[in-house]
Amino acid sequence: MDRIHVRGGNPLNGHIPISGAKNSALKLMAAALLTDEPVTLSRMPDLADTRFLSQLLQHLGADVERGEGTLRIHVGDLAGTEAPYDLVRKMRASFNVLGPILARAGKARVSLPGGCAIGARPVDLHLKALKALGAAIEVEDGYVVASAPNGLKGGIVDFPFVSVGATEHAMLAATLAKGETVLKNTACEPEIADLADCLNKMGARVSGAGTSTIVINGVDRLAGCEHPVVADRIEAGTYALAAASAGGDVTLEGAEQGHNEALWSAMASAGVEVTAVEGGMRIRRNGTPIKPVDIVTEPYPGFATDLQAQFMALMALAKGECTIRETIFENRFMHAPELARMGADITVRGSTALVNGVDKLTGAQVMATDLRASVCLIIAGLAARGETVVNRVYHLDRGFEHLERKLAACGADVERRSD
For the chain, the three-class secondary structure string (H helix, E strand, C coil) is CEEEEEECCCCEEEEEECCECHHHHHHHHHHHHHCCCCEEEECCCCCHHHHHHHHHHHHCCCEEEEECCEEEEECCCCCCCEECHHHHCCCHHHHHHHHHHHHHHCEEEEECCCCCCCCCCCCHHHHHHHHHCCCEEEEECCEEEEECCCCCECCEEECCCCCHHHHHHHHHHHCCCECEEEEECCCCCHHHHHHHHHHHHCCCEEECECECEEEEECCCCCCCEEEECCECHHHHHHHHHHHHHHCEEEEEECCCHHHCHHHHHHHHHCCCEEEEECCEEEEEECCCCCCCCCEEECCCCCECHHHHHHHHHHHCCCCCEEEEECCCCCCCCCHHHHHHHCCCEEEEECCEEEEECCCCCECCEEECCCHHHHHHHHHHHHHCECEEEEECHHHHHHCCCCHHHHHHCCCCEEEEEEC
Task: Tell me if 2-19+231-418 shares its fold with 22-228.
Answer: yes
Q: What is the pTM of this model?
A: 0.95
Residue ranges of the annotated binding site for UDP-N-acetyl-alpha-D-glucosamine are 92, 121-125, 306, 328
* Domain definitions of the chain by residue range: 2-19+231-418, 22-228
Which residues are part of the catalytic machinery? Answer: 116
Distance CA 51, CA 25 (A): 11
Residue ranges of the annotated binding site are 22-23, 92, 121-125, 306, 328
Per-residue model confidence as pLDDT tens for the chain (419 residues): 899 999 999 999 999 999 999 999 999 999 999 999 999 999 999 999 999 999 999 999 999 999 999 999 999 999 999 999 999 988 888 999 999 999 999 999 999 986 444 344 578 999 999 999 999 999 999 899 999 999 999 999 999 999 999 999 999 999 999 999 999 999 999 999 999 999 999 999 999 999 999 999 999 999 999 999 999 999 999 999 999 999 999 999 999 999 999 999 999 999 999 999 999 999 999 999 999 999 999 999 999 999 999 999 999 999 999 999 999 987 789 999 999 999 999 999 999 999 999 999 999 999 988 888 889 999 999 999 999 999 988 888 888 999 999 999 999 999 999 86
Instruction: Classify domain 2-19+231-418 at the CATH topology level.
Output: UDP-n-acetylglucosamine1-carboxyvinyl-transferase; Chain (3.65.10)
- In CATH, what number does 22-228 get? 3.65.10.10
pLDDT at 114: 63
